[in-house]
Amino acid sequence: MAKLLSPFTQRSVTYRNRIGISPMCQYSCTDGVPTDWHLVHLGSRAVGGAGLVIAEASGVEAIGRISPGDAGIYSDAQAEAWSRITAFISGQGAVPGIQLAHAGRKASTQVPWEGHSGIPETQGGWRPIGPSAINFKDDYIEPLAMTLEQIGQMREKFVASAKLALAAGFKMLEIHAAHGYLLHNFYSPLSNQRTDAYGGSFDNRIRLLVEIATAIRSAIPDGVPLWTRVSCTDWVDDGWTIEESIELSRRLKALGVDCIDCSSGGNVPKAKIPSTPGYQVPFAARIRREANIATAAVGLITGIEQANQVVESGDAEFVLLARQSLRDPYFPLHAAAQLGVKEAIKPPIQYERAF
């Protein structure tokens, strides 16, 4: 059996295969409430055979959304709308997951098809927050440096969102600590110039993420898998490094995080990212081997053989697909056919005659 199509069990959750849909913002919500678009978008990928479907970065509070169109998981209306979507995903045999997020200093920006600048408060935006008052780039809004009281409240917000997500039917949770958003802002020295317990040394810079992961782990049932998406490097000389990511992963594993989703970059505009096929897989491989924790590989994984090789070689337990899954929602079903294990994923009964 091709390993890509083999089931994997984490805590009390079994994924039918190792193909996950990477979280993808759809910028299509009002007040953070997901819509029929999300039902069809996420639902189609569950129909396509993925083992895991991770819903987009969802703000733990309104000002933690990247744009006014982003999803949230901080209100009952949002949870209710998500419930319909998670029920459909589960009904198709996929595990519904959600990415718990706070956009930090990259919040209050335009949806991408309208532009790439910050939206000032006078035009319907809001004041972002971050570890320090340093903006991401000139046309982004300068964040307010968080007080210790706000940092304490942030732990509670992540925990409240984690509980709300489980009530809405999600079966795995991912903490978004990558791509230049709040938790990445804290652990990268490029965006964190604090001189208190949350800035300076490695231990201090990772403190907020460690506290949030600890608090979520102790607030959710033992059976629920908890993942963390990390930017494994800032891709600049004086930034966050893969060696720091490995040490962070060891700490996260010790406190009960089950998988590191290995992405990179996003915290500074000047980073030069070598976007070649599978360019982040080596991070997943190193973290898996050196921190002894399950990993998910993501980034320019587009081929069936390529995806299977990532898992077969032991570089990662999971492959996450983003853009390729938009081009081909049936990638997992196609992979099962191509790898000669059609029986590994049952297509929906309504579609059986096509497969």
Ligand X SMILES: Cc1cc2nc3c(=O)[nH]c(=O)nc-3n(C[C@H](O)[C@H](O)[C@H](O)COP(=O)(O)O)c2cc1C
The binding site for ligand X (CB under 6 A) comprises 22-25, 56-57, 99, 176, 178-179, 229, 263, 298-301, 321-324
The distance of closest approach from Cβ of residue 24 to ligand X in the complex, given in angstroms and rounded to an integer, is: 4
Calpha distance 22→98 (Å, rounded): 10
Placement of tokens 């962070």 in the chain: 248
140 is catalytic: no
Give the Å distances, CA to CA, from 108 to 67, 136, 192. 5, 12, 19
Q: Please report how close the Cβ of residue 110 comes to ligand X at its closest, in angstroms.
A: 14
Query: Across the chain, which distance is largest between two alpha carbons, in Å?
Result: 64
User: CA 151, CA 216: separation in Å to the nearest integer?
Assistant: 15
Cβ 228 to ligand X, closest distance in Å?
11
Whole-number CA gyration radius for the chain: 19
Shortest Cβ distance from residue 71 to ligand X (Å)? 8
- Closest distance to ligand X from the beta carbon of 300 (Å): 4
Tokens of 20: 């996950």
* For ligand X, the closer CB: 28 or 90: 28
Dihedral, CA of residue 353, residue 345, residue 57 and residue 192, to nearest 10: -150
**What type of residue sits at position 44?**
S
- The pair phi, psi for residue 135, each rounded to 5°, is -80, 160
Query: Which CB, 71 or 206, lies closer to ligand X?
Result: 71
Q: Which is nearer to ligand X, 190 or 232 (CB)?
A: 232
Closest to 24 (Cα-Cα) out of 272, 329, 330: 329
One-letter amino acid at 313 equals S
* Cα separations in angstroms, 194 against 5, 143, 144, 190, 212: 46, 14, 12, 11, 18
Please tell me the distance from the alpha carbon of residue 43 to that of residue 62, in angstroms, as a whole number: 25
The dihedrals phi and psi of 115, each to the nearest 5 degrees, come to 150, -175
The enclosing H or E element of 19 equals strand 19-21
Could you give phi then psi for residue 291, rounded to 5 degrees?
A: -105, -5
Question: Smallest distance from the beta carbon of 347 to ligand X, in angstroms?
Answer: 23
Which residue's CB atom is positioned nearest to ligand X?
322
275/292 with CB nearer ligand X: 275
Nearer to ligand X, 130 or 194 (CB): 130
Tokens read off for 205 = 């810079």
- Residue 122 CB, nearest distance to ligand X (Å)? 27
Bridge-partner residues for 296, per DSSP? Answer: 261, 318
Choose between 46 and 194: whose C-beta lies nearer to ligand X.
Answer: 46
Find the helix packing angle between 331-338 and 304-312, rounded to 10°: 80
Please say which residue, 6 or 302, places its beta carbon nearer to ligand X: 302
- 135: three-class secondary structure by DSSP: coil
Q: Which one of 27, 74, 140, 181 is the catalytic residue?
A: 181
Q: Please identify every residue annotated as catalytic.
A: 181
